[in-house]
């Protein structure tokens, strides 16, 4: 391997060098082709011009010359690192360089390269089974799924419904615990070491679709002092929102415990991109552990928050695995607005007996949606509820009971693709399923590793970088 004049690694097995491209009026001096960040699905074309100019690349697969893709434009410089995405393994490509100097557009001749195959350790990660191919909605086919490998070296994937990896990002020495696709077309992730518990971490990483780092914060920087877990989000102000580990030293002698016992619970922390604390909240602010008759048994992990999201009014919705509840928390005062589930304040419909929940969120129809682990009945499923906050009631909108063969007691997620289909991740079973509202499985995918969730990213959210 060798670093070129742009500072990026070029692999000699892929390299193509063109010097003195006179057909472009002498503007282009050299063109180098290699891998971007050593990633087989990202090709970097380094263009060196003799004068400052704008430049971008147009490229297409030899199998489909009508689908012309375009890189970002690098402006007013001599060195133009142009990154090509949507690269398929072992495929012939053609490309040309477009330069603009003083408003004059010039096009180079057409060049070619062939992409490498994926490394062996990335092959056969996903196996799709189209149970009812005629029923798979077009919305699902036009989007990608975001999943992760949660042990080091960490991997984040975007893959299509056929099981083809369309994008990936690898990190050494750390693992992807939780990740989200943001409105800014970035991957925001919680990272952790292998010796940290599942879904717990100590680093926040954000990368764009080019694979470049946007943000990298580590525990110990600024006000980032606590271990975080199970969630990492951005709010509308671009601030970071996550769940924290909260510890309280308490006198539990009144219930048979010690005078300085430690109770572990959860909180919410909001930081800016420089790790400056903006807002914090703790379960201990609103609930007394001594009111739990089982606190001596549960003190090591009293509530176990496992997902956090926003209601339509901007307040928080947080789910707790160990208590079997979902809470709504005021994002300003920290007051609990309602509790749903065992012993909650919301009157539950008779046919909504969920055990533990994951991936709680408000879906596109404005309903509360979550994956039900179904631990007591050994059968997982999906719930959506219409909540009437004023009357503190809930009405069942949808309940999917998944086949017992994919029972998933820990982790998991469920997100709507459209009004009739739902993508479900059964993490412990290493399987994703696409279900209709009646629970019929239209499509399944076996994965080589457990992913904490499977988040669906619509095709229009990926434009212009990735075209499913």
How far, in Å, CA of 120 to CA of 202, rounded?
30
* 389 pLDDT higher than 90: yes
Closest CA to 127 of 84, 164, 177: 164
**CA-based end-to-end distance of the chain:** 31
At 3 the pLDDT is 46
pLDDT recorded at residue 8:
43
Q: pLDDT band for 16, please (50, 70, 90 cuts).
A: low
Strand, helix or coil for residue 206: strand
Q: Cis peptide before 63, with omega less than 30 degrees from 0?
A: no
Of 4 and 283, the structure prediction assigns the larger pLDDT to 283
pLDDT at 9: 41
Percentage, residues of the chain above pLDDT 70 = 94
- List Cα–Cα distances, 370 to 137, 287, 415, in angstroms: 22, 24, 8
Rounded to whole angstroms, the Cα distance separating 71 from 42 reads 11
What confidence score (pLDDT) does residue 322 get? Answer: 93
Q: Predicted confidence band at 132 (pLDDT cuts at 50, 70, 90)?
A: confident
pLDDT of residue 1: 40
Pairing of the two strands 213-218 and 368-372: unpaired
C-alpha dihedral sign at 430, 434, 439, 442:
negative
Q: Identify the DSSP state of 295.
A: H
pLDDT classification of 151: cutoffs 50, 70, 90: confident
The answer to whether the CB of 156 falls within 8 A of the CB of 455 is no
Q: Is the confidence at residue 434, as pLDDT, over 90?
A: yes
Residue by residue, DSSP assigns 211-277 as S-EEEEEETTSTT--S-EEEEEEE-TTS-EEEEEEEEEEE--GGGT--TTEEEEEEEEEEE-TT--E
Count of Cβ atoms closer than 10 Å to residue 354 Cβ: 26
Give the tokens for residue 380. 């997982």
* pLDDT, tens only, 230-243: 999 999 999 999 99
Q: How far, in Å, CA of 3 to CA of 9, rounded? A: 4
Apex CA 203: angle with CA 200 and CA 207, to 5°? Answer: 115
Burial class for 296, CB neighbours closer than 10 Å (0-12, 13-18, 19+): middle
Angle 221-223-229 from CA coordinates, rounded to 5°: 85
Strand residue runs (E) in 4-63: 9-10, 16-19, 28-36, 39-61
Closest CA to 68 of 121, 20, 18, 107: 107
pLDDT(7) > 80: no
pLDDT of residue 133: 86
At residue 22, the pLDDT reads 44
Report the pLDDT averaged over residues 107-116.
94
- Res 256: pLDDT: 94
Residue 424 exposed, middle or buried by CB count within 10 Å (0-12, 13-18, 19+): buried
pLDDT number for residue 414: 98
Q: What is the largest CA-CA distance in the chain?
A: 87
Average pLDDT over residues 51-70: 94
> Of 343, 384, 337, 375, whose CA–CA distance to 356 is shortest?
375
Task: Name the region of 38 (left: φ>0; alpha: ψ -120 to 50; beta: rest).
Answer: left
- Determine contact, residues 30/79, Cβ cutoff 8 Å: no
CA pair distance 97, 80, nearest whole angstrom? 10
When the pLDDT of each residue in the chain is averaged and rounded to a whole number, the result is 92
The tens digit of pLDDT for each residue in 202-213 reads 999 999 999 999
Core vs surface per residue 203-229: b (16+ CB within 10 A) or e: bbbbbbbbbeeeeebeeeeeebebbbb
> Average pLDDT for residues 377-399, to the nearest whole number?
95
pLDDT at 65: 87
How far is the CA of 66 from the CAs of 60, 61, 63, 94, 141, in angstroms?
Answer: 8, 9, 9, 12, 20
For residue 13, the model assigns a pLDDT of: 39
Q: Model confidence at 131, in pLDDT bands (50, 70, 90)?
A: confident
Q: Going from the N-terminus, what domains does the chain have, and what CATH number goes with each?
A: 2-114 (2.60.40.10)
CB 420 within 8 A of CB 413: no
CA nearest 160: which of 442, 363, 459?
A: 459
pLDDT at 17 over 80: no
Question: pTM here?
Answer: 0.92
Residues sharing a CB contact under 8 Å with residue 49, sequence separation 6 or more, in sequence order? 27, 28, 29, 55, 78, 80, 99
- pLDDT, tens only, 22-56: 445 568 999 999 999 999 999 999 999 999 999 99
Q: Convert the pLDDT of each residue in 174-184 to its tens digit.
A: 999 999 999 99
How far is residue 209's CA from residue 80's CA, in Å, rounded to a whole number? 18
């Amino acid at each position: 391997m060798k670093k070129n004049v742009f500072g990026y690694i070029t692999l000699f097995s892929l390299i193509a060098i063109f010097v003195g491209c006179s057909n472009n009026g002498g503007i282009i001096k050299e063109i180098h082709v290699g891998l971007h960040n050593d990633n087989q699905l990202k090709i970097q074309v380094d263009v060196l011009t003799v004068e400052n100019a704008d430049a971008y690349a147009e490229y297409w697969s030899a199998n489909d010359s009508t689908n012309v893709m375009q890189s970002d434009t690098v402006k007013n410089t001599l060195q133009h690192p142009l990154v090509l995405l949507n690269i398929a393994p072992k495929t012939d490509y053609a490309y040309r360089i477009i330069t603009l100097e003083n408003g004059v557009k010039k096009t180079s001749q057409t060049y070619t390269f062939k992409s490498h195959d994926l490394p062996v350790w990335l092959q056969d990660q996903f196996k799709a089974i189209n149970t009812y191919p005629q029923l798979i909605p077009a919305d699902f086919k036009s989007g990608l799924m975001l999943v992760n490998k949660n042990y080091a070296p960490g991997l984040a994937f975007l893959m299509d419904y056929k099981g083809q990896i369309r994008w990936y990002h690898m990190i050494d020495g750390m693992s992807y615990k939780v990740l989200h696709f943001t409105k800014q077309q970035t991957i925001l992730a919680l990272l952790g070491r292998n010796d940290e518990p599942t879904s717990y971490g100590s680093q926040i990483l954000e990368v764009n679709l080019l694979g470049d780092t946007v943000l990298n914060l580590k525990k110990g920087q600024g006000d980032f002092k606590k271990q975080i877990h199970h969630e990492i989000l951005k709010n509308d102000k671009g601030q970071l929102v996550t769940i924290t580990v909260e510890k309280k030293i308490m006198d539990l002698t009144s219930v048979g415990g010690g005078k300085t016992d430690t109770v572990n619970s959860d909180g919410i922390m909001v930081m800016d991109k420089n790790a400056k604390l903006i807002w914090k909240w703790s379960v201990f602010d609103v609930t007394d552990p001594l009111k739990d008759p089982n606190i001596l048994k549960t003190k090591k992990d009293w509530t176990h928050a496992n997902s956090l999201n926003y209601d339509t009014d901007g307040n928080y919705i947080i789910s707790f695995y160990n208590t079997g509840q979902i809470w709504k928390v005021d994002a300003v005062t920290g007051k609990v607005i309602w509790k749903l589930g065992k012993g909650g304040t919301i009157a539950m419909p008779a046919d909504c007996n969920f055990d533990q929940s994951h991936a709680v969120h408000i879906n596109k129809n404005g309903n509360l949606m979550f994956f039900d682990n179904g631990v007591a009945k050994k059968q997982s499923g999906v719930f959506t509820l219409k909540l009437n906050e004023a009357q503190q009631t809930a009405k069942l909108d949808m309940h999917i009971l998944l086949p017992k063969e994919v029972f998933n007691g820990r982790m998991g997620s469920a997100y709507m693709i459209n009004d009739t289909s739902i993508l479900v991740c059964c993490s412990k079973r290493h399987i994703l399923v696409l279900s209709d509202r009646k629970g019929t499985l239209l499509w399944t995918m076996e994965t080589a590793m457990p992913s904490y969730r499977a988040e669906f990213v619509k095709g229009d959210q990926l434009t212009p970088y990735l075209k499913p």
